[in-house]
Structure 1
């Protein structure tokens, strides 16, 4: 049975530097593969990890419903769900398996035999996750949604072992040229938001299982155009709409009590 894990993580910024070390500038697996001759032994961790992320992002790109999403966005999904597993943190068995996989990968890359090579991909999986424990969790291609065109995305991870699902959200912060994994549920530190919520719907609880509806503010209104309006999945019960322009502080904008109409609750600025 699938379970949805509650996500309580801090705002994570990912700059346009993208990936690991000097190989982070490559966003195409073939171009990265062609640089193999210049890779030093101490750089193999970063090199093969970056290649793995790119291959997985390119596999996601083959899904028809994802064809219009930029590769760098898909890359950031993969990188979030499958973080690097450094050699220094592996046990002796893991280090041995990684070394064996590396010898095989080295031969394929030396001979430029990396296109549609299933054996290479198997060794690549072994290299990045020799214990076969870290990467049971994958990005679920069917759960990727563009909630606001080119600016805000929802994606989910699926652990194939436990069938646990986790939803994540990525904001393309154009002002700072950054990709940010954000939490759409206000932090408990946001006292003002929760005081307002308690005033109108004291028993309201956030639902994380389903992705919300998200829309941008009015473009013609300079005070509103940068806000994201978030409405949790409706289930014919009490519901809310709230807004944010930084995913750190939130403002309650509308509420809907069960069986009643939506009413605005945001206090106008003086």
Structure 2
């Protein structure tokens, strides 16, 4: 997939680091920067004191709307001064609908940047992840703190489990994979001969990517009692990869939240920039 539009989401208190990161990525690909400035509305008061608090609540919401207008104007000036083309939209939504609002906007982008600047706002961060991964069909680029991402990676690790989510991630990152000097297909505890991986795990994907011109090696990794996420992180670091590509939420969100999972681990501690798709 050719990337031409990158979306960054920001809130009232977020710093502008993510916007600059997204702009740098757009500069690499002659792309367009799209920014969504989003404010989650204060919840309505409830309980026996709701009537007494309603005036305070209404005032708080009006102040948030005014702050959103000011923040949008500031972001618009910032984007106008950047060396890449861009647009800015804003939205004021109830918390229950914030992920839908982000998902709708993300449908008109090729990639959404999930940078560290938004993580200081946990509610908006969670809504951004849910909106992109579950409501847009658009891949997400997760960037760790202190790391400068690139859309021209030299070494890529593909976390391959032969699920549809991983397949979508590979297709979303195909141009990046083909352009890399080294691509490692990392399979953890694959079972040869079953209905998922086939007779030679990783061989079908390697052949598919090779036909596109990618320089691929297949690495079948034993977990040896470690979690899949830990094995993938260690392998990615050992390979000095610039990017990891993986499918998101191969299991249900509830199972991931209750028992953990690869997606949850990567969202919390990505070893390098991670391109996720679902």
Q: Give the TM-score of the pair, scaled to structure 1.
A: 0.26
Q: Give the TM-score of the pair, scaled to structure 2.
A: 0.25
